[in-house]
Amino acid sequence: METQTTMLPTTLIVLRHSPHDERWLAEGLDVALVGAVFGQEVKLLFMGQGVMSLIPGQHDTLGKPLSTSAILESLAMYGIKELLVPSNELAKLNIGQNDMMAGVSVIDDDQLRACFSKASHVLTF
């Protein structure tokens, strides 16, 4: 009988839109949660204005917290532990790691390209 090492397929979800353009972010997070529930290893990569999602205290114009903020805080419960941000994206926005929620990993250019080449599936939002 053959034995095979089973590796979870990795889904890379790229979130590139502002948390205030909630449609994109909410849809990306929905897919992330569904993927995690169905046994995928999910990684979230934040680029462009999507990086702003990781800054705590995002509210709408009426002062109500964005619904996506609560989802982002609960990702670990679903086994989604890799929240990645390229260092050049942080530099563009002049944002430091201390400005972001806990658990975010800053990656360099090579690690960014490797995220794409190693993923079984890539979805951009």
Query: Interior CA angle at 44 toward 42 and 50, to 5°?
Result: 155
Judged by the rule CB under 8 A, the positions of this chain that interact with other proteins are 14, 16, 47-49, 86, 88, 109, 112-113, 115-117, 119, 121-122, 124
**Measured distance between the N- and C-terminal CA atoms of the chain, rounded to whole angstroms:** 42
For residue 64, the minimal CB distance to other proteins (Å) is 27
Of 94, 91, 112, 109, which Cα lies nearest the Cα of 43?
112
Nearer to other proteins, 49 or 69 (CB): 49
Nearer to other proteins, 52 or 73 (CB): 52
For residue 79, the minimal CB distance to other proteins (Å) is 23
Nearer to other proteins, 8 or 114 (CB): 114
**How far, in Å, CA of 14 to CA of 44, rounded?**
6
